[in-house]
Amino acid sequence: MKDIATPTRTKEILQKYGFSFKKSLGQNFLIDINILQNIVKAAELDSTKAVLEIGPGIGALTEHLARAAGKVVAVELDQRLLPILKDTLEPYPHVEVIHGDILKVNLQKLIKEQFAGYEKISVVANLPYYVTSPILMRLLEEHLPLENIVVMMQKEVADRISAAPGGKEYGALSAMTQFYAKPEIAMIVPHSVFIPQPNVDSAVLKLRVWDKPPVEVVDQKMLFKVIKASFAQRRKTIFNNLQTSIFGREQRETLLQILEETGIAPARRGETLGLEEFARLSNRISKEQLHP
């Protein structure tokens, strides 16, 4: 059985079905078997584990997942790909393709219905660049029973998510993601291994989902509000950003007192604060709002 992810086989499949790429869906199909095998390896799969794939395309990654995992459920938005997937994945009865939008599908229900009996579930996907962050945050915010999330994305976004405090890549997305999971870049993927070729290189980001967050917070919504506010204008200090977004001028002294009590200098910028400091700050602000 020929692998899907070769230039020749991919072109054969596309020609057979007269498939044309939709730029609006960010479709770029992988044509490198070694990279697909490394993605599967990063996900740490075996026959006792299940996988949710997002955007299977013509099934190049899906078949490698199917060879490694006990069950694979792939959610595909583009209806034109459904008959192609039915054909290419026919040898794998433990693969199910669902037509839907991953941002709208009831994920809790899907996992409960499709993965009964599987304790360890991972998400593995080659994500369209234009919806990478919304998909990732949805997967994390819904507190799904996931072991790993292994996703291909624009290298620049992977750098931002995995960045440590103090660098120019570190921002709100870094801190919020790291509240839910430990990120690491598994590999860099050149743009030349896709059809059609994107303009930039990609990276495979592995997120090992925490059993419980690494910091304790009174109010998670407040934590994320503080993180977003702190990066609202990167050049501004933590004091100025929090005063503008949360406190207002009339509570200037209250904010200064909170920063002093939490050991955070008002002149610092958001990019210098780690997750533990954001948690300490948001917990103190939550306490202030409960007992002013």
Quickly tell me which residue has 């792939």 as its tokens: 74
Q: Which residues pair with 98 in a beta bridge?
A: 75
Listed in order, the ranges of the chain carrying CATH 3.40.50.150 are 7-209
Predicted confidence at residue 276, as pLDDT, reads 97
Report whether 191 contacts 197 (CB < 8 A): yes
Contacts of 73 (CB under 8 A, 6+ apart): 50, 51, 52, 53, 95, 96, 97, 98, 110, 114, 115
> For residue range 92-137, what is the model confidence (pLDDT) as tens digits?
999 999 999 999 999 999 999 999 999 999 999 998 888 999 999 9
pLDDT in tens, 10-24: 999 999 999 988 877
Residue 101 assigned as binding residue: yes
Start and end residues for every CATH 1.10.8.100 domain found in the chain: 220-290
The pair of structure tokens assigned to 276 is: 């533990």
pLDDT at 288: 79
**CA neighbor of 77 nearest in space, from 7, 13, 127:** 127
- CA-closest candidate to residue 51, choices 35, 28, 75: 75
Nearest C-alpha neighbor of 171 from the set 235, 220, 222, 127: 235
44 labeled part of a ligand binding site: no
pLDDT of residue 290: 59
At residue 248, the pLDDT reads 84
26: left (phi over 0), alpha (psi -120 to 50) or beta: left
| Pairwise CA distance, residues 41 & 153, whole Å | 17
Whether the model clears a pTM of 0.85, i.e. scores above it, the answer is yes
Question: How many residues does this entry show for the chain?
Answer: 292
Residue 219's pLDDT is 95
The answer to whether 126 is a known ligand-binding residue is yes
Q: Say what the pLDDT of residue 238 is.
A: 96
CA distance 54 to 249: 45
pLDDT at 291: 54
Q: What is the CATH architecture assignment of 220-290? A: Orthogonal Bundle (1.10)
- The answer to the question of whether 169 is labelled as a binding residue is no
The reported pLDDT for the residue numbered 27 is 82
pLDDT of residue 157: 95
Instruction: Kindly give the parts of the chain with pLDDT less than 70.
Output: 1, 290-292
Cβ neighbours of 118 (radius 10 Å): 16
Alpha carbon 110 to chain centroid, angstroms? 18
Q: Which CATH class is domain 7-209?
A: alpha beta
Token representation of residue 247:
């406190």
- At residue 69, φ and ψ (nearest 5 deg) are -105, 165
